[in-house]
Amino acid sequence: MDKSFTLIEMVVVIAITGIISGLVLANMRAGGQIRDLNSDAEKLAGIIKQAQMMALSGKQINSSRPPGGYGVYLTADSYKLFADDYDNDGEHQYDDGDDTVIQTFNFTEHVKASDFNYYFTIFFPPKGLVYVGTTNPGVELSGTDLIILKHDSNRYVYIEVNAQGQVDVRKTQ
């Protein structure tokens, strides 16, 4: 009795192995995209919370408390944690050159902030209020506002900020 495999049995096994390998690789790629998107959303939400805590605690930058508080300036590709050093006009916005950039962050490749024109600012003055805006000046937030992060693969994550300063990440699959 011959105990070897036939050519047809070998071809069937190779085909099944190839199909399973293809499915696994496709799922790994999608999992990496979701991981990148969720990671960027959690990091941005953490920086927004950090700006809020710095404003409420009176954190000093350059040996003084910034008169305007702290904020996060968001563009499509990156965002900045900043101190509003010159809030003479009460505009509640990032002023390039006038304000101190504490740190700059870039989104992961293929992840962008979407659904706003040019920039978006979330701002926390020392009074504990929340200001948002895409135009000068920023306006006091009375309800909730969303920041949408989008992966090139058309996956989205939402970061919700409400008037009480609560920051929540809403992940999608």
Mean model confidence pLDDT for the chain? 82
Could you please report the per-residue DSSP string of 94-137? Answer: --TTTSEEEEEEEPPTTEEEESSSS-EEEEE-TTS--EEESSSS
Question: What is the per-residue pLDDT for 135?
Answer: 62
Report CA torsion sign: 109, 113, 115, 116. negative
Residue 15 lies in a domain: yes
156-162 β-sheet, strand order = 111-114, 144-151, 156-162, 167-171
Q: How many CA atoms lie within 13 A of 96 on its CB side?
A: 6
- Residue 2 is assigned to a structural domain of this protein: no
Higher pLDDT, 105 or 146: 105
Mean pLDDT of 69-98: 82
Q: What is the number of residues in the chain?
A: 173
Q: Is residue 41 part of a domain?
A: yes
31 domain-assigned: yes
pLDDT in tens, 22-76: 887 776 666 677 888 899 999 999 999 998 888 888 888 888 888 888 889 888 8
How confident is the model over 120-145, as pLDDT tens digits? 677 777 777 788 876 666 777 778 88
Helix (H) or strand (E) holding 47: helix 7-57
The pLDDT score that the predictor gives to residue 134 is: 65
- Tell whether omega for the bond before 137 is within 30 degrees of 0, i.e. cis: yes
Q: Do the domain assignments include residue 1?
A: no
Residue 29 lies in a domain: yes
- Count of structural domains within the chain: 1
pLDDT at 4: 77
Say whether 49 sits in a helix, a strand or coil.
helix
Which CATH number goes with the domain that contains 70?
3.55.40
In a domain, 95, yes or no: yes
What pLDDT band is residue 151 in, cutting at 50, 70 and 90?
A: confident
The reported pLDDT for the residue numbered 42 is 94
Rg (CA), the chain: 24
Q: In this predicted structure, what is the pLDDT of residue 124? A: 75
Structural domain for 87, as ranges: 7-171
Q: Give me the phi and psi of 80, to 5 degrees please.
A: -125, 135
Q: Measure the CA–CA gap between 16 and 122, rounded to whole angstroms.
A: 52
CA-wise closest residue to 81 among 29, 35, 121, 128: 121
User: Could you tell me if residue 123 is inside a domain?
Assistant: yes
